[in-house]
Each structure stands twice: as structure tokens, then as C-alpha cells.
Structure 1
Amino acid sequence: MMARLRLVSIGVLLAQFHAPQAWSENGDRWTHAPYELGQGLNFPQIGVNVGGYLSLRYRDVEDAPSTLSLKDLSLLLSADVSDRVNLFTEAEIGEAVSVARHGIDSKNAEFEFERLYADYRARQHVTLRVGKFLTPVGRWNLIHADPLVWTVSRPLTTSVSFARQAAGAMVYGSVPLGDTLNDNGLDYSVFVDDTDLLDRDQQEELAYEDANPGITAVGAFEHAAGAHVTYHLLDDRMNLGASYLRYRMADLHEDKDLLGVDFFWNLSRIELSSEWVYRNSRGGAEPDERGGFVQAAVPVAGHMYAIGRYEHYTTAVQPERVEVETLGLTYRPHRAISAKLEYRDGDHNRLVAPSGWLASIAVLF
């Protein structure tokens, strides 16, 4: 089913490039708007925007060889089919090439459609999305791209207890609330997922991206339903969010409930963020998971920021509670460029988030 959606979407995108209305009076349909780094290349005559991002990562952690890899190479393509319909795809090659002591290889390279969906704007505050999209839980998972987040490593809280992507349908929108002059409002999303039917290839996704390769927990839903809300206040300098999911993971045998909260506060000299989740087995035999993190980003000089994060997480793959501390520096000369260096350490973290050094350079085109 997802393969058919891919073919249809690609066909429509190609049709956008060849549509008669794409031709201007002088026959030049390829005139693009002035390019700005991080905003993609926009072709207003045909309603198409082409962008992407890449990430180079260095990893030197316990129980693994030091590696330098092209971790992410992503193409972002958006097309306005009509005033109400938009198509979007994110096609990615992960771990395209790695360099280690034993040489250069691409055995871990993997191509996938991270996102592939169609949006239909039904009303001012209501949009229907159909396809494969990011699971609306918390804040990090919806941002996720390396150029846009503060650290190389990803908190366990933001990915291991649920699938990062869903395949199905979602209704979402934004509703102004209270003082509209201060951008107060509520974002909402409600979705249903049937990955088992629509995107069986997703079952190859691992829940633990940056862990011992012996952990084979699958990061894919079998089926799911859920909702997420975010309240924006203080001129959008503060966000308060909450999530709820009911789902079954592809490699588990019991339905799960997940409750989550997330927080973001952009102060004049510090940015604070936090996410917490609790996943229960509704009385079943499989163990619950729970945990959260608190993170601070502080400007120290020019475009340089100091980052600190503390996380604790109780995971089903080991009996001990994991504690992880991350300290790092992030250089961000432009909102679309980041260079990061961090050291990660902790207690009982060797299996799921091993201690060591990580660095990356990322660019959003």
C-alpha cells in the first residue's frame, strides 16, 4: 500500500514540473525565488520547493570502533497541487558511507522515505494528512533533523518507547486562544496508524539508534491511535505539550498506553526544554517504561552555545534504570548550520547509550 502511495506521489510531483500552467509568458517555468539557506529552492510558478539536509557524524564510544560517517543525506520535496492540497516527501539515505580503522564501507547504507504524505486543508483550522508522517509525540520527534536540534545524541525518551513514524491518517491544526497579539494558541493533532498494513518495511527500523547493535527492539507500530496538543503562550516563547497513545509495537505482544508531557521555554539568556513519558502494558506481563530529560542551552560567546542534559530512563531491555549526562558545545553561525561536540556519560548506560565522544556538522539546505 505504501509503495502505491509512493508511486502516486512521485507521479503527481513529476506532473507538477510538466503542467501547462507552469510555463510563464516567456516560456521559463524554472524561474525560482531568491534562495535563502535553510528555506529550500522555491519555484513559485509550479508550486514546488526543493530542499534537504546532510549530517556528518563522528562517534567514539564504549564497545564500538571510532567512526566518521555521512549519517543523513535527505531530500525534502514539497508541491502545491492546488490551493488546498499539498504533497510532501522526505527521502533519506542513512549511514551512506562510514570511515573506520578497517577502511571505508557502505554496508549499513539504507534508503527510505522518512515522510511521504498528502495534506488537504479542509477548513481554516483543520487539515487532513494521509500517508507516512512523524508520530506526534513530544517536541523532539517533530523537529528531529540534525541541523535543528542542539545535540548529536538523541534522548531515549524521544524515541525508544514508541515508533518515530506512523502510516495512516491524521487531522491537525492550530486554534487561536486568548491573547492573539501574543501568539497564544493551541496546536492539536489526532491520528490513526496501521503500519502493519501500509508500511511493512518500517518493521526493519530499530528502536535504539545509538546503542549496542545486539539490541533488536523494533521501532515500528503494528497499529496505533493517539493525540498531541501544544499550548503556545508568552509570544510563543513558552510551549506546554501533552501526548497520549494507545498502540502495539511490531515486536511486542500486548497493547500499550503512553502518556507524555513536554515543555519549552526560551528565556533571554537560556533555553530550557524537557520531555517525560510513561508507557504501560495495561496490566500485561511485558515491563513498563518511563523516564524523561531536562536540557538547557546557554549562549557563551558569539554563535557558541553550551548544552547540558540530564536524563533517566527505565527501559524494558535491562533491569537497571539508565542515567545519562550529556555536556557539549554547539556552534550555530546560521539557523541552518550547526557544528556540535559533546561528551556523554552515565550509570547503567553502556548498553543503550554508551559513554564517549560524539560530534557532527550539519547543514539544512
Structure 2
Amino acid sequence: MPAVAQDKPVTIEDVLEIVQRQQAEIDALRTELDATRQGMDATADKVAESEEKIEATGDFVESLAAAAPGRSKTSIGGYGELHYNQVNSDAGDSEEIDFHRFVLFFGHEFSDKVRFFSEFELEHSLAGDGKPGEVELEQAYAEFDLGNNIAARAGLFLLPVGILNETHEPPTFYGVERNDVENIILPSTWWEAGAGVRGNLANGLSWDAAVHSGLAIPTSGSSAFRVRSGRQKVAEADASDMATTVRMKYTGVPGLELAASYQYQSDPSQVAGDGLDSGQLFTAHAIYQRDRFGVRALYGSWEFDGAAVEAADADSQSGWYIEPSFRANKNWGVYARYSDLDAARAQDRFTQTEFGFNYWPTDGVVLKMDYRMREFDLPALSLSDFDAIDVGFGYNF
């Protein structure tokens, strides 16, 4: 090795120093390798722990999914309303406060195609002998899907007539009291028992048809030929003569609803030969909402055949109203309503003008106030013309 011979001779100390440096490098590499292995072990432990958490979360979600259908199949809802009325007339003044309605809804889905709905009501807070109120079953029916756009129902249900008969929760309409046309001409709330079919067509058209129990209108006494007095409320009702109701509805334009209903009953008194032979109801309504402005209008009329009803000048009974409104914001709205009625009894023949406001502090709760002015058609009832102030509270959920 001639080249080495020319350099400084390598000693044993130099060799030992080289070996020590190499050993230190090896020890450092071993330390780094051990740290890496420990990190990998910790990472593996964390991965295993995360997998356990994910699996536990999945099991919990699956348990919720399994339990949720059982909870959601049955639903509960309701509504109620409190009224204060101050009426002033030449015949006398009166003041009254009344919890008019307390209602509970119960629904249940038996399957994707079969469901049940019911409505249970207490009127005027107290019911029983000598009490002013009633406990009533207003709905109890099952609905069956027959296809994508058609369903059948059977049981006790609200008839498809007018605006308020099917949708009458207090936050959904203006005025403390329900309008008089849909009280006297259309005797809302009006339910019957039977079977019906409903369907949806193209372009916003829908239809309803039902065969059901009918009215039993009295033909004598103070309520003779009064339609509202003919409701049997499916309480051991006389079913000698059934009735048929059909409706067409159009909602193909945003904010617009147009509907018309027709009902026929061959003997609306359920008594043959009493001078009330047949009855036909026709009603039509329009609802239009554009931005803050809205309007509702409804017309309803009955045509009866029979010697007795014609002699009493009650064979044609009708009424209509128009109601413009303005929603200032989500909380406040004002309205005005003009109604004209010509029904069986003298006290059911009048015109009425009213205006007022609704205040919705939150969804499902409403406070109301209105002022009414009623004038009767007959001069003999002029002393009964009245002005009234109404204040109300209502809710639904």
C-alpha cells in the first residue's frame, strides 16, 4: 500500500475512535427505530379505539332507526280557543267569556298505505246535564292508499265543503268567531259517517266524492228548516236517507285555491211525506294570497223541495261573504269582512260588517280582536241590531 505509507501511520486509538463513532450512530438509529415502533403501536391503539367508537356509534344509530318508526307512527295534536264577546243593542247588552273549544287529535300510521285520524272535542269547558257544553267525536276514520294519486277513507270524517269545515284551527283564519255563512248555511263543523274516495289529477286539480249519513232537519218548532239543527253528529243517527257529496278543487297557481262542492239528499228530514222532500247544496269559494295581500270569498246555497218548506219560505237559503286582508309582517295582520245571509229563521237573515286584527307571537299561537256591526233584514228585529267587540286567544300544535 504505497499511498498509505506516505501518510501518518494509523494507530489503534484511531481505529477505536472510528468504531465508537459507528457504535454511537448505530445506537441512535436503534433509538429512532424504537421510537418509531412505539409511535406505530400508539397509532394502532388509537385506530383500534376509533374503530370501537365508530362501531358503538353505528350500533346506537341502528337502535335509534329501529326505535324511531315505533315512535313516529302515532301522532298527537290539538287546538283550542278562548272568546270574550261584548254585544250592545237596543234590545239589551251582554258580556260573555267562554273557552269555546278544546280539541285533541290522535293519528296513527298502520303502514305506508293505511293510516288513522281522529278528533275529540270538548265545547264550552263543561259537559253534562245542565251544562252548556258537549263532548264530541268529530273525526275517526281510516284512509287507504289505492295508488299514487288516489285514496279511500271509511269512518267518521269532515265533509269536503267550504273553507273552514276541514281547516278551522284558530291561527289559520281571521276573526274571533268563525264567519256566519260557514255556520248557518254550511253548518261547520260538519261531520258524517260513510265512505269516500279522493284523488289528484294533473295541473293542480283534485277531487273528492263521498256517500255518507245525512241531515235530519226539523220541520216544526223554532228551528224548523234550519240546516244547522239537522246535524245528527253520527250519534245513533237516523240513516233512512243517505247523502252524497262531491268536490273539485284547483291549486295549480301559487297562492290560489278555487273549489266547488255539491251535495244531494233525497229526504233531508229523514221523514217521508212531511213536506221536506229533497235538498241540494252548492258552494264555491276562492282564496288568493299575493305577497302581503289576501282575499277570501265564499258563496253557499240550499235548494229544498216540498210543500211545507216552500210554504215557510225556507226553500231557498243562501249566504256569501268577502274578506280582504293585509299581512303587515309575520306577526301582524288586519282584515275586513262583509257577509250577507238569507236563511230559514228570521234571526238568520242579516248583513254584517266587521274588521279587526290578528297577532301571531309565534307559529301556532294567535291573539285576535274585532268589531262587528249586524243589521237584520226584518224591521221587526231592528231593536236586535247590534255592535260587538270580540277578543280571542287560540293555538294549535
Bin of the TM-score, shorter chain as denominator length: 0.7 to 0.9
Q: How far, CA to CA, are the matches of 2:194 and 2:269 in structure 1?
A: 15
- Which residue pairs with 2:151 in the alignment? 127
Letter in 2 for 1:346: R
Structure 1 pair 48–232 and aligned structure 2 pair: CA distance change class (3 A): same
User: Hey, what does 1:337 align to over in structure 2?
Assistant: 365
- Give yes or no for the alignment of 1:224 onto 2:243: yes
**Native 8 Å contact 1:309 1:325 kept in 2:** yes
**Structure in which a larger fraction of residues adopt helix:** 2
Tell me the residue number matched to 2:278.
255
Question: 1:127 and 1:72, CA in 2 relative to 1: closer, same or farther beyond 3 A?
Answer: same
CA 1:258–1:246 in 2, change beyond 3 Å: closer, same or farther?
A: same
Partner residue, 1:79: 108
Cα distance, 1:122 vs structure 2: 0.9
Q: Does residue 57 of structure 1 match 2:83?
A: yes
Q: What is the match of residue 267 of structure 1?
A: 290
- Residue 347 of structure 1 and its aligned partner are, at CA, apart by 1.2
Question: CA separation in 1, counterparts of 2:326 and 2:264?
Answer: 36
Unaligned residue ranges in structure 2 (runs of 5+): 1-60, 233-237
Which is further off, 150-159 or 238-247?
150-159
Q: Aligned residue for 1:359?
A: 391
Q: Residues 357 and 78 of structure 1: is their aligned pair in 2 closer, same or farther, counting only changes over 3 Å?
A: same
Residues 218 and 250, structure 1, Cα contact 8 Å, conserved in 2: no
Distance in 2 of aligned mates of 1:275 and 1:336: 25
Count residues in correspondence: 303
1:6 match: none
User: Is 1:347 aligned to residue 375 of structure 2?
Assistant: yes
Equivalent in the alignment of 2:166: 142
| Aligned amino acid, residue 101 of structure 2 | D
The equivalent position to 2:326 in structure 1, one of 284, 298, 302, is: 298
Q: Secondary structure at the match of 1:218?
A: helix
Q: 1:190 aligns with which of 209, 219, 239?
A: 209
Please state how far the C-alpha of 1:353 moved relative to its aligned partner. Answer: 9.3
**Letter matched to residue 117 of structure 1:** Y
8 Å Cα contact 2:295-2:325 kept in structure 1: yes
> Hey, what's the Cα distance between the residues in 1 that align with 2:347 and 2:131?
32
SS at match of 1:159: helix
What is the match of residue 20 of structure 1? Answer: none
Please tell me whether Structure 1 or Structure 2 has the larger radius of gyration of its CA atoms: 2
Shift of residue 191 of structure 1?
Answer: 0.9
Greater share of strand residues, 1 or 2? 1
Structure 1 residue 53 displacement after superposition: 1.2
Q: Could you list the runs of 5+ residues in structure 1 that have no partner in the other structure?
A: 1-23, 32-42, 99-104, 178-184, 205-211
Q: CA deviation at 1:87?
A: 0.7
Distance 1:292 1:187 in 2: 24
Query: TM-score scaled to structure 2, two decimals?
Result: 0.68
CA deviation map 1:155-184 (0-9, x unaligned): 22213234411211111122222xxxxxxx
Q: 1:110 aligned to 2:110?
A: no
Deviation of 1:289 (Å): 0.4
Choose 287-296 or 341-350, whichever is displaced more: 341-350
- How far is the alpha carbon of 1:64 from its aligned partner? 6.4
AA in 2 matched with 1:265: Y
1:332-365 Cα distance to aligned partner (Å, 9 max, x none): 2333111100111121077999641112111112
Alpha-carbon distance in structure 2 between the residues aligned to 1:217 and 1:354: 22
Tell me, yes or no, if the aligned pair for 1:324 and 1:353 is still in contact at 8 Å: no
Q: Distance in 1 between matches of 2:324 and 2:84?
A: 23
Q: In the alignment, is the contact (CA less than 8 A) between 1:141 and 1:159 conserved in 2?
A: no
**Which one-letter code corresponds to 1:133 in the other structure?**
F
Cα deviation, 1:223-259, whole Å, max 9, x if unaligned, reads 3211111111322x11111111112545883321111
Give 1:324 shift: 0.7
Cα gap change, 1:227 to 1:216, in 2 (>3 Å): closer
Give 1:175's aligned amino acid.
L
RMSD across aligned positions (CA): 3.3
**Quick one: structure 1 residues 227 and 354, their matched pair in 2 at CA, closer, same or farther if it must change by over 3 Å?**
farther
Asked if structure 1 preserves the Cα contact closer than 8 Å seen for 2:82 and 2:101, the reply is: yes
Q: What is the deviation of 1:318?
A: 1.5
CA distance in 1, matches of 2:317, 2:289: 29
Is 2:187 aligned against 1:174? no
Identity across matched positions, percent: 21
- CA change 1:26–1:155 in 2 (3 A) is same
What residue is the counterpart of 2:10 in the other structure? none
Q: 1:241 maps to which residue?
A: 259
Q: Which residue of 2 aligns with 1:208?
A: none
